[in-house]
Chain A
Amino acid sequence: MEKPQVFRVNSPQVVSETIDGEVVIVNLDKGYYYSLLKTGAYIWSGIERHLDRDSIVVELTRTYLGNVEEISTAINDFLDELQREEIIVLTTELISEHPNEIVEMGEKQLFEKPILEKFTDMEDLLLLDPIHEVDVDSGWPNVKTA
């Protein structure tokens, strides 16, 4: 039987903060900035709670409406992408004592594929005026479109 795969945030080179449902992440070694919303942010909370890969899938299939197989594939792809970006790493030390705590969301919402939004041209983005040169509806680091 395969060992459960548990992840941890690749700290100290990766730091994150959750702001109003959005997870913002920075890889301090590379300077890259990432953003997770909705299901991506939910999966992140599972990682922070040290849920193993299968438990994250189970929790999201219970929380969201959708085809179980599609949800499972999307989550696994997403976790692989987070690993490739060196944002999370596998760990053998941390296993959640309270797996599958369902977050109350009222009525079940339709599952949306998690997206890892990545910004690499940070030197330019840091020079942006965060009031005048950004998209009014989404704010920095989203540049105002002409």
Chain B
Amino acid sequence: MINDILPIYQLSLCQKLLLQATLLQGERAMQAWDCWQSLIDIENLDPSSNVLLPQLYKNLLIHDVKHPYMARLKGIYRRNWYANQLRLKDLKIILSYLKDDEIDVIILGKASFGSYPIENCRSIDSFRLLVQEKYLERANQKLTAVNWQEDDPTPKTLIHLQGHLFWAIPQDHIDNLVWHNATPDWSDRLGWRLSVTDQFLDSCTRTFFKGHSQQIYGIADVMILIQNSSNDIDWMRLVSQAQRYQMILPVRNMLIILQNILKPSVPNWVLPALWQMPIAHAEWLSYKILADDKRSFWQSIYAHSVRPLNYFGTKLRELKQTPFPGRQVLKSLLKVR
């Protein structure tokens, strides 16, 4: 019941084991795999775990695992690879259209991992594209002109076009920073890629944002960033930007989970620094908290206890904008008289 009021992020034992079997190497990965496959029935997996199966297959292959599940896991990988190739082809066409109009695009989300070993391990079901705010309308018109309709009731692939990635004042400066740190190296310079630090922040916020259903692939994404690009992560900047953009809670959550389950190499000072930072009211309202984080739990309860007052205020303002029905009733009464 409390989860309905206060979304809590909690991983099951099987999900933890799956993350370990997917992302770790050597004996730890194999122990996790043995345990996971003995606990689960592959035909009844939770949707969140299903997303990791192509990447699990790749890791099991490296470890030369022989198991009756391997054929189906390989099939899942093949299906994912095939579907992704078709989607990436569409994405390249979209990027070419926009590039012809001198609109640069940063590719976000699942399609952004072009050069990482997980390129074909996430199912690219939609495109998240960041363009500069001043080009947003033009990009929208350009895509509409090539049959990407805003109100298409049965879209095969969705495009989420956005002008901002992080929010803070002054917004122009924040947007410029994102572009300044990005690199134009997505698929033969067709598109841009976020800096690893910004990608880290983005994955954290999307993993713990309250409006999203619980997913575990965000944890895997961040782990892969740490494993493959640890030298490119600017930890100082990550912490300071988390504070500036009011994203301390999701980054802290992510690092706690990673530390508990996967034990990546993260500078010792990062997590204590995040614990010392005050968290804004809006953060408690926007992001999920970890089930075993008692301190955050009470803070979040407090934030929620204040929220109904704000909601009441909003409703009152809405009422002011609509005609007061009582007057109509009064008029009809007067007419009758």
Interface bracket on A: 20 to 34
Q: Looking at the complex, which of A36-44, A76-84, A103-111, A137-145 is the stretch in contact with chain B?
A: A137-145
Q: Are the C-beta atoms of A139 and B42 separated by less than 8 Å? A: no
Query: CB < 8 Å: which of B75, B86, B120 contacts A139?
Result: B75
How many residues from B make CB contacts under 8 Å with A?
Answer: 22
Please measure, in the bound complex, the distance between the C-alpha atom of A142 and the C-alpha atom of B78, giving whole angstroms: 11
Nearest chain A CB to B303 CB, angstrom units: 40
If the complex has contacts A15-B85, A28-B86, A139-B73, are A130 and B79 also in contact, measured as CB distance less than 8 A?
Answer: yes
Contact at B75–A134, with CB atoms within 8 Å? yes
A131 close to B82 (CB less than 8 A): no
Are B71 and A24 closer than 8 Å at their CB atoms? no
Asked if A126 and B72 sit within 8 Å, CB to CB, the answer is no
**Contact residues in B for A125 (Cβ distance below 8 Å):** 79
**Is the beta-carbon distance between A26 and B85 smaller than 8 angstroms?**
yes
Asked if residues A131 and B78 are in contact (CB atoms below 8 Å), the reply is: no
Whether the pair B71, A139 counts as a contact (CB closer than 8 A) is: yes
**Is B271 in contact with chain A by the CB < 8 A criterion?**
no
Task: Select one of B72, B82, B89 contacting A33, CB under 8 A.
Answer: B82
User: Which residues of chain A are within 8 angstroms of B61 by Cβ–Cβ distance?
Assistant: 19-20
Query: In the complex the two chains form, is B72's CB within 8 Å of A130's CB?
Result: yes
Instruction: Known contacts A17-B120, A31-B86; decide if A24 and B81 are in contact (CB<8 Å).
Output: yes
Q: Across the interface, do A131 and B86 meet the contact criterion of CB distance under 8 Å?
A: no
A139 to B75, CA, bound (A): 4
Check B71 against A137 for contact (C-beta < 8 Å). yes
Known contacts being A17-B120, A28-B89, is A122 close to B71, with CB within 8 Å?
no
Contact status A139-B89, CB under 8 Å: no
| B266 at interface by CB-CB < 8 Å | no
B76 touches A130 (CB 8 A): yes
Report yes or no: B79 in contact with A141, Cβ–Cβ below 8 A: yes
Residue among B43, B75, B120 facing the most chain A CB atoms (10 A cut-off): B75
Chain B residues with CB under 8 A of A24: 78, 81-82
Which residue of chain B lies nearest to A33 when distances are taken between CB atoms in the complex?
B82
How many angstroms from the CA of A130 to the CA of B250 in the assembled complex? 33
Counting CB contacts under 8 A, is B217 at the interface?
no
Chain B residues 37-68 with CB under 8 Å of chain A are: 42-43, 45, 50, 61, 68
Q: Can you name 14 extra interface pairs (CB under 8 A) apart from A17-B81, A139-B75?
A: A15-B85, A26-B86, A125-B79, A126-B79, A128-B79, A131-B42, A131-B43, A138-B75, A139-B71, A139-B73, A139-B74, A139-B76, A140-B72, A141-B75
20 A-B pairs, CB-CB below 8 angstroms?
A15-B85, A17-B120, A19-B74, A19-B78, A19-B81, A20-B74, A28-B89, A126-B79, A130-B76, A131-B42, A131-B43, A132-B43, A138-B75, A139-B71, A139-B72, A139-B73, A139-B75, A139-B76, A139-B78, A141-B82
